[in-house]
Chain A
Amino acid sequence: MAGGTATAASPRRSLGQDRRQEALAGYGLIAIPMILFLVFQIGSIFFAIYISLWKWGPLGPTGLNPFRGLRNYETILGDPIFWKAVTNTLYYTVIWVPLTMALGLFLAVIVNQKIRGQTFFRAAFYFPAIASSAAITTLFIFIMGPDGLFNGLRQAAGLNPLFQLLGFGPTYNWLGESRTAMNSIIILNAWTTSGTFMLFYLASLQSISHEVYEAAAIDGASAWQTFWKVTFPLLRPGHYFVATVAVIGGLQLFDQAIFAGGQGGEPNNSLTTIVLFLFRSAISDFNFGYAAAVGIILLVVIMAATLIQRRLFGQAPSW
């Protein structure tokens, strides 16, 4: 019975010790990634806030009066090109996010069916998301050029009169005209990212239990009614997650903009996005402080957008 009292007393002690050991082991395991995260991600943000108050070049503060306080922010907010960048980025996000979400959901519903080659289709639809954005954009530029594949195909298909009606000549330069450049990029990115959103929605779809569908079938709901009245509302956590990720990604558009439009955001600043504006200030002018200020403004915008979405959509995903 000494063993009994011992076993009665030691579980409490060893449990506390066990817990502490477990906790220590846990902290030990996450220590390195956590330190890296704190230094390189969180620390970078604080450093960026710091240097955004200075005129900061590659060698540190430069010029006669390097401390600028909030003047960098004032200059940015007074620059019409910055506001064009904001308008372009918001336009892109507002159009691209719902479009790609719809496309992703559509693909997810399709590949969720028990059809032959299901795995192949899932891989095929996802492939553009992992291909190099530089390669895809370069090909896209060739396809959409005045002598490109797209114009050639629509001519061969006899669709030119229809396009002419809408104001697009037979050798229209889709990425070279300011009114269609951004829209072309939206279409490109909708196709590229639809695969990623398809995967997110697939996960969400598969968490809906079969009983719900059975109940709907018993009630005599058609396929469209089932989708719209049953599946779609139950996907709310999926919508929230995809929308948040999409908005955060959309507000940071850069790769395609710089490949298609160059550093100047041609044509006519129609492809200038906030991140492209930041890149120009940092690399062309070596004005790191100014670029950091743009980055902080973008951080505030993205955080605001995410908080608004949380309010609108309500809860975080349950999975």
Chain B
Amino acid sequence: MRNRLALPLVALLVLAACTANNTTTGGSSAAAFDPSSVSGTVVFSGWQASKDEGVALQAALDGFKAKYPKITVNYQPIATDYATAMAAKFSAHQPPDLFYVDSSVAPDWISQGLLYPLDDWASSRNFDTSQFFPGYLDAFKGQDGKIYGFPKDGNALGMAYNKDMLTAAGITAPPTTWDELVADAPKLTSGSQKAFCLSSTLDRELAFIYQNGGALLSADKKSAAIDSAASKQAITWYLDLFKNGWGDTPKNLGDDWCGTSLGKKKVAIIFEGGWLDPFMKSTYPGVNYAWAPLPKGKQAGNLGFTVSYSIGKDSANKDAAWVLLTYLTGPEGMKLWTQGGVANPSRKDVPAPAGKEVLVAGAADAHPWSFIPGFSKINDAFNNAMTAALEAKSDDPTKIVNDTKTAIDQALNS
């Protein structure tokens, strides 16, 4: 009698134990996921560009600690070259549990199988991703359509202009279209002062290419679109700003980037993102500048620069990392991170910090700064060809387009 009951009883117990196991590790969608029940240590890594960032991040981590006291966050920022250090950790199959991924290298890291896909958990654990600006979230979509990271913040480009210089030139309102920009340029160029500091790189010019209806790649990312007529037109237009003497690269102005040129009052207008504000506040507080949206071409267009928090495929504490991830990229954590003004929110439901409304509004038209694996060579090809064109004082886009297209074809076929 005992023997005949023993087997089914044992089987029942095993079944009960299995389902109980599944609930606590959160691997099955059968039971609801309770983040407060997760405990452990999360190894959290990234880089820190400035001290202010460290302070803001600590505020967010303190908020996390208060809400989820069972999880300990072991914050280990990487001070050396981030990609090199992460390459070593990935190769050792010991990546941190949660770490930064820059949007421009996200396609490479995703295609190498280094990141953990988050779609299943987002739906089974009820994390709402609809509030992220698509220009930021789509940067972390793999070629399989899955999401491999959530954007921790985002920056679109804006037009920062020196209010005093515009007033002195008799311009009452900053230009809102390409034509107005070109009309205002000669008025702002006089003596050693130039109208613009312009970066000779793809990460600025591409915004204008999008505005003219062009693009770097086709919509399905399977072929180049840089050789379209619209793209070529936009490149010529940008090169003409240099050729006509209205703008110059920061290097030729003697500065490391355009922020310094604006600070030293060498130029009236620059195109940068929210990272300009902490820099100007600490280094050139006396400059009276303001933000305006990028002047519009045939359509509005912008670039979305962002970094994600991602979980590694080989990360040890994925559940605890998930709780930290959803807190930091959820409305509560993101508010703590962005309210000081060091970064701009990547979610629509987090209010823009004071003074950043223009920059956050730019996110609506932003295209992700994230393309295909092997992008770094495409970026270098474009930038080098543009430098060559500027040195030759030409506005001919042919070599730029050809070199970039060659690099794109090579990357697509590798």
* Interface positions of A (Cβ within 8 A of B): 55, 57-59, 62-63, 75, 79-81, 145-148, 171, 173, 176-178, 263-269, 280, 282-287
Within 350-393 of B, Cβ neighbours of A (below 8 Å) are at: 373-374, 376-377, 379-381, 383-385, 387-388, 391
Please indicate the chain A residues that have their CB under 8 angstroms from the CB of B84 in the complex.
283
B410 within 8 Å of A by Cβ?
yes
Known A-B contacts A58-B114, A178-B391, A269-B384; the reply to A145 vs B254 at CB < 8 A is yes
Contact B87–A176 (Cβ < 8 Å): no
- With contacts A62-B112, A62-B113, A269-B384 known, is A177 near B254, CB below 8 A? no
Contact pick for B391, options A59, A75, A268, CB 8 Å: A268
A58 and B112 contacting across the interface, CB-CB below 8 Å: yes
Given contacts A75-B410, A285-B377, A286-B112, A147 and B384 within 8 Å (CB-CB): no
Query: B414 at interface (Cβ–Cβ under 8 A)?
Result: yes
User: Knowing A267-B391, A284-B376, A285-B376 touch, does A171 contact B254 (C-beta < 8 A)?
Assistant: yes
**6 smallest beta-carbon distances between A and B, as pairs:** A284-B376, A58-B90, A146-B254, A57-B112, A176-B251, A264-B380
Say how far A83's CB is from chain B's closest CB, in angstroms.
13
CB-CB under 8 A from B252, the residues of chain A are 146, 173, 176
A62 in contact with B391 (CB, 8 Å): no
Q: Determine the distance from Cα of A84 to Cα of B218 in the docked complex, in whole angstroms.
A: 29
B-chain residues with CB within 8 Å of residue A55 when the two chains form the complex? 414
Q: Which residue among A265, A284, A285, A287 has the maximum number of chain B CB atoms within 10 Å of its CB?
A: A285
Q: For the A-B complex with A57-B113, A283-B87 known, give 11 more contacts whose Cβ atoms are closer than 8 Å.
A: A55-B414, A58-B87, A59-B90, A75-B414, A173-B251, A176-B252, A178-B388, A263-B376, A267-B384, A286-B112, A286-B114
On whether A280 and B87 interact (CB within 8 A), knowing A267-B391, A286-B108, the answer reads no
Q: How far is the CB of B313 from chain A (nearest CB, A)?
A: 8
Question: What is the bound-complex CA distance between A283 and B115, given in angstroms?
Answer: 17
A-B pairs with beta carbons under 8 Å apart, 28 shown: A57-B112, A58-B90, A58-B114, A59-B91, A59-B93, A59-B313, A75-B410, A75-B414, A79-B410, A146-B251, A146-B253, A146-B254, A147-B254, A171-B254, A173-B251, A173-B254, A176-B252, A178-B387, A267-B384, A267-B387, A267-B391, A268-B387, A280-B377, A280-B380, A282-B87, A284-B83, A284-B377, A285-B376
B105 within 8 A of A: yes
Whether the pair B410, A58 counts as a contact (CB closer than 8 A) is: no
B81 at the interface (CB under 8 A from A): yes
Task: Select which of A178, A283, A287 is within 8 A of B374 by beta carbon.
Answer: A287
Cα distance, A40 to B302, chains bound together (Å): 48
If over half of B's interface residues share one DSSP class (helix, strand or loop), that class is named, otherwise mixed; here it is helix
A63 to B111, CA, bound (A): 8
A273–B134 Cα distance when bound, in Å, is 38
Chain B residues near A283 (CB-CB < 8 A): 81, 83-84, 87
Give the residue name and chain of the A residue nearest to B112 (CB): A57
Interchain CB contact under 8 A, A59 and B380 = no
Which residues of the partner chain B approach A178 to less than 8 Å between Cβ atoms? 387-388, 391
Verify B93–A266 contact, CB threshold 8 A: no
- CA separation between A267 and B200, bound complex, in Å? 11
Question: Using Cβ atoms and an 8 Å threshold, which residues of chain A touch B237?
Answer: none
- Which of B87, B249, B380, B385 has the largest count of A CB atoms less than 10 A from its CB? B380
Shortest distance between the CB of B80 and any CB in chain A (Å): 12
A226 to B376, CA, bound (A): 56
| CB-based nearest A residue for B249 | A176
Residues of B at under 8 Å CB distance from A?
81, 83-84, 87, 90-91, 93, 105, 108-109, 111-114, 249, 251-254, 313-314, 373-374, 376-377, 379-381, 383-385, 387-388, 391, 406, 410, 414
Interchain CB contact (< 8 A) of A263 among B114, B373, B380: B380
On chain B, the residues within 8 Å of A171 by CB distance are: 254
Q: Judging by beta carbons under 8 Å apart, are B384 and A264 in contact?
A: yes
* A285 near B373: Cβ-Cβ < 8 Å: yes
Residue of A nearest to B107 (CB): A285
In the complex, which residues of chain A have a beta carbon less than 8 angstroms from the beta carbon of B376? 263, 280, 284-285
Q: Which residues of B contact A62 (CB under 8 A)?
A: 111-113
Give the distance in Å from the alpha carbon of A59 to the alpha carbon of B89 in the complex.
Answer: 10
Chain B residue with Cβ nearest A172 = B252
Chain A's closest residue to B92 (CB) is A58
Q: B108 to chain A: which residues have CB within 8 Å?
A: 284-286
Known contacts A176-B252, A264-B379; A285 and B388 CB within 8 A of each other: no
**Closest Cβ–Cβ distance, residue A223 to chain B (whole Å):** 46
Contact A265–B254 (Cβ < 8 Å): no
Docked pose: A269 CA to B253 CA in angstroms: 21
What are the residues of chain A within 8 A of B406 when measuring CB–CB? 80
Name the distance in Å between A4's Cβ and chain B's nearest Cβ.
Answer: 67
> Residue B383 contacts which of A57, A177, A264, A286 (CB distance < 8 angstroms)?
A264
Q: How far is the CA of A265 from the CA of B84 in the complex (A)?
A: 18
**Which residue on B lies nearest to A79, using beta carbons?**
B410
Query: Knowing A173-B251, A178-B391, A283-B81 touch, does A265 contact B380 (C-beta < 8 A)?
Result: yes
Distance in angstroms between the alpha carbons of A283 and B105 in the assembled complex: 10
Contact between chains at A286 and B113 (CB < 8 Å): no
**In the complex, A266 Cα to B380 Cα: how many Å?**
8
List, in ascending order, chain A residues with CB within 8 A of B109's CB.
286
Tell me the bound Cα distance from A287 to B372 in angstroms: 14
How many Å from the CB of B20 to the closest CB on chain A? 33
Hey, which chain B residues are within 8 Å of A269, CB to CB? Answer: 380, 384
Question: How many Å from the CB of B198 to the closest CB on chain A?
Answer: 14
A81 to B254, Cβ gap below 8 A?
no
Question: Which of chain B's residues has its CB closest to A146's CB?
Answer: B254
Q: Is the CB of B114 within 8 A of A59?
A: yes
Most buried by B among A176, A178, A264: A264
